[in-house]
Chain A
Amino acid sequence: MTVLRSLLAGTCALALAAGAQASDLKVGFLSTLSGGGAGLGVDIRDGFLLALGEAGADDVEVVVEDTQRKPEVAVQVADEFIQREEVDVLTGIVFSNIALAVVPSAVNQGKFYISPNAGPSQLAGRGCHENYFNVAWQNDAMHEAAGAHANDAGYESAFIMAPNYPAGQDGLTGFKRFYEGEVVSEVYTRLGQTDYAAEIAQIRASDADVAYFFLPGGMGISFLKQYADAGVDIPLIGPGFSFDQTILPAVGDAAAGVRNTSEWSPDLDTAANAAFVESFRAAYDRTPSMYAAQGYDAAQLLLSAMETADVSDADAFREALRAAEFESVRGAFRFAANQHPIQDIYVREVVERDGVWTNVVVGPSLQDHSDVYGADCDL
């Protein structure tokens, strides 16, 4: 009986291997698709699926599930992907706190995780893992680039502000890591705060050369509108998150002319990018955001690895991912030793083009930038 069963098992495995010539791959896509912050997850998903659709990748099966922006829900979804769906690769998470809840246990169970957005420092440094690839950025990258830009622009004193949560504290630390001028005031606001009158009054009173702020999502929308209305003449800079295509239409001219930093911009001059922006607009009737671009690149990375290796051979597949042989929409892209990007970060400016508020590239801020945490990573 035992012999028979193992024989049968052997045949099944063979059959699977034969079918796997086309390198079948199952992806578990978990992201914030409902409630607050859903816009970001939807963009990542749309970008990801667009790339798969364009490649005609019918050998990739994608299971999509919503995490409702709740880490505990995300953990359950990941359990389901791993235990029931038996996916090979997970991806899709928007927020760092959710990534921290899901990623360590998933990669330790032998799954690959490709991060299309969040890049918490813990996973770039000591907690790095051979199965964890970040195709977006380490969280500090845009803040560091903003600090460098503030130097280049000749701002000698800065007022800096972020919500009181780990990504906010990391953000301001990242800014200060590169900024050489004087920080006149460092303010932490409440997470989810919607009224910034008190902080704007402090900015006005500070008389700094520049105000740097990191307020993702709705918080950034509220702040920008109120800041514009308060008539403070201290220039603003921010990370790309606060000036993204998902929120610019809601901010309107309140953000006009503000400089911000990002690894991508819709007008970035690469052939791959022009094609991506055009096909995204055709497919979804809106301008893609940075999140959509990252989702698109995550799928491209995956497809490029599938061309040279089969996911059932984890070591070969890992090597293929590490090679990053794909044409990123942001131009030059490769992985550092900790499997986080080495890439250029640009300074962008908010402008109105054809009736749509969007970003245009002003110039590079940091070139071939990688994060500082890689030194602690043993890969």
Chain B
Amino acid sequence: MTTILFIEQVLNGLQFGVMLFLMAAGLTLVFGVMGLINLAHGALYMVGAFAAASVAAATGSFLLGLIASLAAAAMAGAIVEIVVIRRLYRRDHLDQVLATFALILIFSEGTRWLFGSFPLYLDIPEALSGPVTLPGGIDYPLYRLFIIAVGLAVAGFLFWLIARTRLGIRIRAGEADREMIAALGVDISKLYTLVFALGAALAGMAGALVGAIQSVEVGMGEPVLILAFVTIIIGGIGSIKGAFVGALLVGLIDTLGRTLLPIAFGTVMEASAATTVGSALASMLIYILMAGVLIARPQGLFGAAA
């Protein structure tokens, strides 16, 4: 494998990683502040992609679509929080898992009822389409660089939000001691709705960004959701930093494993067997990583000790 191909794959891994981070950040925030496991997070990703695709189709503007994805997912998140999720904070994890599993069914079928069974069209905006040549002669799609940049910017924004703003202080206080900040006069239920909507908006934006290079269809959020879970287990549930490191790890290992493993096996066995074994092992690689983390550090890389 040439160096150029390798660097290209590293970039691909990075891009996949920052997308996962947008998903994982919402999950981990909601868990950290409210102690809630939200399986329906993938449904919000789907909502974002569908909103972006329909608004972009109606207006012809990708930017408006992106804004719509944020707004629609945040709104869907806020509504779901007020109607359903709010009743679940005091419940055990089992109830949370089930109720949010039920929400997935409702969201998926509802979207199918509204938009039909066929995938929607969402394209990369003209200004960001096509490849650019990077130093070293690497042709790389501009849009993927854009995704990496957006992801890093959002990560920076989140770190700033949590560390430096009033809302961030409340979020951190909420993570540390829920009763106390309620007693201090913070409107806790408003804070919860806000955090949930923020997580939802991030997921929705991820859906819209990815929707432009993938297929916008019902059920698109589920594979990403599982990967996001793996990410926050590795990084440590509740930790934004953990979600960031975990997402990059998962993105890089998955992408590089997919290309490198079949090549590695090719040196010791016959080509078609090597591709099969290599691809099979590559698809399990991140779960093996997760198992390793669970053995060595059950609370995840950046999780607070349980």
A and B, direct touch (CB closer than 8 Å): yes
A181 CB–B CB distance under 8 Å: no
Taken residue by residue from 1 to 33, chain B's Cβ proximity to chain A (1 for < 8 Å, 0 otherwise) reads as 010110011001001100000000000000000
* Chain A residues, Cβ within 8 Å of B15: 197
Taken residue by residue from 187 to 201, chain A's Cβ proximity to chain B (1 for < 8 Å, 0 otherwise) reads as 111101011011001
* Contact A36/B219 with A195-B12, A195-B16, A231-B131 known, Cβ cut-off 8 Å: yes
Please determine whether B117 and A39 come into contact, CB atoms closer than 8 angstroms.
Answer: yes
* Beta-carbon nearest neighbor of B142 in chain A: A229
Please determine whether B129 and A34 come into contact, CB atoms closer than 8 angstroms.
Answer: no
B136 CB–A CB distance under 8 Å: no
Please determine whether B124 and A225 come into contact, CB atoms closer than 8 angstroms.
Answer: yes
* Beta-carbon nearest neighbor of B263 in chain A: A202
Q: How far is the CA of A192 from the CA of B4 in the complex (A)?
A: 27
Q: How far is the CA of A183 from the CA of B89 in the complex (A)?
A: 57
Please determine whether A39 and B119 come into contact, CB atoms closer than 8 angstroms.
Answer: yes
Q: Which of A201, A202, A221 has the most CB of B within 10 A?
A: A201
* Contact A164/B119 with A35-B219, A221-B215 known, Cβ cut-off 8 Å: no
Q: How far is the CA of A252 from the CA of B141 in the complex (A)?
A: 18
A158 CB–B CB distance under 8 Å: no
Please determine whether B119 and A201 come into contact, CB atoms closer than 8 angstroms.
Answer: no
Q: Which of A194, A195, A202, A247 has the most CB of B within 10 A?
A: A195
B212 CB–A CB distance under 8 Å: yes
Taken residue by residue from 200 to 234, chain B's Cβ proximity to chain A (1 for < 8 Å, 0 otherwise) reads as 00000000001011111111100100000000000
Q: How far is the CA of A189 from the CA of B262 in the complex (A)?
A: 11
Q: How far is the CA of A171 from the CA of B50 in the complex (A)?
A: 32
Please determine whether A225 and B213 come into contact, CB atoms closer than 8 angstroms.
Answer: yes
A251 CB–B CB distance under 8 Å: yes
Please determine whether B218 and A189 come into contact, CB atoms closer than 8 angstroms.
Answer: no
User: Within residues 168 to 208 of chain A, which ones have a CB less than 8 A from any CB in chain B?
Assistant: 186-190, 192, 194-195, 197-198, 201-202, 204-205
Please determine whether A251 and B121 come into contact, CB atoms closer than 8 angstroms.
Answer: yes
* Beta-carbon nearest neighbor of A201 in chain B: B8
* Contact A194/B214 with A201-B5, A231-B139 known, Cβ cut-off 8 Å: yes
B175 CB–A CB distance under 8 Å: no
Q: Please classify how large the interface on chain B is, using the bins under 10, 10 to 19, 20 to 34, 35 or more.
A: 35 or more
A246 CB–B CB distance under 8 Å: yes
Please determine whether B219 and A252 come into contact, CB atoms closer than 8 angstroms.
Answer: no
A125 CB–B CB distance under 8 Å: no
Please determine whether A164 and B280 come into contact, CB atoms closer than 8 angstroms.
Answer: yes
* Beta-carbon nearest neighbor of B121 in chain A: A250
Please determine whether B9 and A198 come into contact, CB atoms closer than 8 angstroms.
Answer: yes
Please determine whether B219 and A164 come into contact, CB atoms closer than 8 angstroms.
Answer: no
* Chain A residues, Cβ within 8 Å of B112: 34, 38
B272 CB–A CB distance under 8 Å: yes
Give chain A nearest CB distance to B213 CB in angstroms.
5
User: Within residues 267 to 303 of chain B, which ones have a CB less than 8 A from any CB in chain A?
Assistant: 271-272, 275-276, 279-280, 282-283
Taken residue by residue from 71 to 105, chain B's Cβ proximity to chain A (1 for < 8 Å, 0 otherwise) reads as 00000000000000000000000000000000000
* Chain A residues, Cβ within 8 Å of B116: 39
Q: How far is the CA of A225 from the CA of B283 in the complex (A)?
A: 23
Q: How far is the CA of A103 from the CA of B105 in the complex (A)?
A: 30
Q: How far is the CA of A205 from the CA of B139 in the complex (A)?
A: 11
* Beta-carbon nearest neighbor of A38 in chain B: B117
Please determine whether A36 and B217 come into contact, CB atoms closer than 8 angstroms.
Answer: yes
B152 CB–A CB distance under 8 Å: no
* Chain B residues, Cβ within 8 Å of A187: 262, 275
* Beta-carbon nearest neighbor of B140 in chain A: A230
Q: Which of A186, A194, A197, A249 has the most CB of B within 10 A?
A: A197
Please determine whether B120 and A230 come into contact, CB atoms closer than 8 angstroms.
Answer: no
The one of B118, B217, B218, B259 that contacts A198, using a Cβ cutoff of 8 Å: B259
Please determine whether A205 and B255 come into contact, CB atoms closer than 8 angstroms.
Answer: no
B193 CB–A CB distance under 8 Å: no
- Residues of A in contact with B (beta carbons under 8 Å apart): 33-36, 38-39, 42, 164, 186-190, 192, 194-195, 197-198, 201-202, 204-205, 217-219, 221-222, 225-226, 229-231, 246-247, 249-254
Given A33-B117, A198-B255, A222-B213, 18 extra CB contacts under 8 A: A187-B275, A188-B275, A190-B282, A192-B223, A194-B223, A197-B16, A197-B255, A201-B5, A202-B259, A205-B4, A219-B215, A221-B217, A225-B214, A229-B129, A229-B141, A229-B213, A231-B131, A252-B123
What are 18 of the A-B contact pairs (CB < 8 Å)? A34-B109, A36-B218, A39-B117, A164-B276, A187-B275, A188-B275, A190-B279, A194-B220, A195-B255, A219-B215, A226-B214, A229-B131, A229-B143, A231-B130, A231-B139, A247-B215, A249-B121, A252-B123
